[in-house]
A and B are shown apart, each in its own frame.
Chain A
C-alpha cells in the first residue's frame, strides 16, 4: 500500500511565477491536509479538504493561495505570483476518517525555493 505521495519533491520558481504542488493521498483516504514548515520550525496548518470540499482553510493566506481536492486526481496546492517569503517545505497529510478517532499520514514534502 503506497503511502502519501507528493510531487515535485523540489521546486524552484522565480518571483511572480506560479507554483503547483501535488498530493496523492493513501489509498482509501478521502481527507487531505496541507501544512507549511519553515526551517527549524514546527508544522503550520494551512487547509483541510475532503473530496470536492474545503472543510477548513483558516490557515491559508487569503490572497495568492488556493487548494483543491477534485473527485478524481490529486489534491493541488497552488501559489500564484510567488514571493521569496513563500520559500518553505510544504507537507501534505491524508487520513481515512469516518467519524470518531483518526490518524494522519504524511508525505515526503515539496521544498519550494523562490529566487
Chain B
C-alpha cells in the first residue's frame, strides 16, 4: 500500500532544542494525524488536522495541514527527555483508508 515520505528518519537533539519533522505524499488527504509511540505501547494520537492550512497546537506541539493537502509538519518546542519516542504521521483518504509515514525516531539528550 501507499506509504508517506516522512523525514527525518531519526533525530538526536539536546534538551531544550526545538524539533521539526514533516510528511509528504503524492496524494491528497482529508485528514492528517500525528502519533507518538513509545516502546511496548500503541501509537497515541497527538494532533488531528481536518482542513487545508489548519494550524493546531497541543501544548508544546504544533502541527499544520499543508495548503496543497499533500503534506504536514509537526514542531515540538523546548524538547524535554519525555519527548523521546517514535513519531508517525498518517493521512486519511476519501475512502477512509489511512496511510502511515515510516516514523521519526527522536532522542533527547539531557
> Interface residues, chain A, CB within 8 Å of chain B?
4, 6, 31, 33, 42-43, 45, 48, 55-56, 58-59, 91, 93, 95, 97, 100-109, 111
Give the residue name and chain of the A residue nearest to B3 (CB): A42
- Select the stretch in B37-45, B56-64, B77-85 that faces chain A: B37-45
A-B contact pairs, 23 of them (CB 8 A): A6-B42, A31-B96, A33-B98, A42-B3, A42-B88, A42-B100, A42-B102, A43-B100, A45-B97, A48-B96, A48-B97, A58-B1, A95-B96, A97-B96, A101-B92, A102-B92, A102-B96, A103-B33, A103-B45, A103-B48, A104-B98, A106-B42, A106-B45
Whether a CB of chain A sits under 8 angstroms from the CB of B7 is no
Digit string of B70-106 for contact with A (CB within 8 Å is 1, else 0)?
A: 0000000000000000001010100011111111000
Q: Once the chains bind, are A91 and B43 in contact (CB under 8 Å)? A: yes
Interface residues of B (CB under 8 A from A): 1, 3, 30-31, 33, 35, 40-45, 48, 50, 88, 90, 92, 96-103
- Docked Cα-Cα span, A103 to B96, in Å, equals 9
**B98 near A109: Cβ-Cβ < 8 Å:** no
Q: A101–B31 contact, CB under 8 A?
A: yes
12 additional A-B pairs beyond A101-B50, A106-B42, A108-B41, beta carbons within 8 Å, are A33-B98, A42-B3, A42-B88, A43-B88, A56-B97, A91-B42, A100-B30, A101-B92, A103-B31, A103-B33, A103-B45, A106-B35
Residue on A with the closest CB to B51?
A: A101
Q: Complex formed: what's the CA distance from A101 to B48 in Å?
A: 10
Q: Looking at the assembled complex, report how far the CB atom of A99 sits from the nearest CB atom of chain B, in whole angstroms.
A: 8
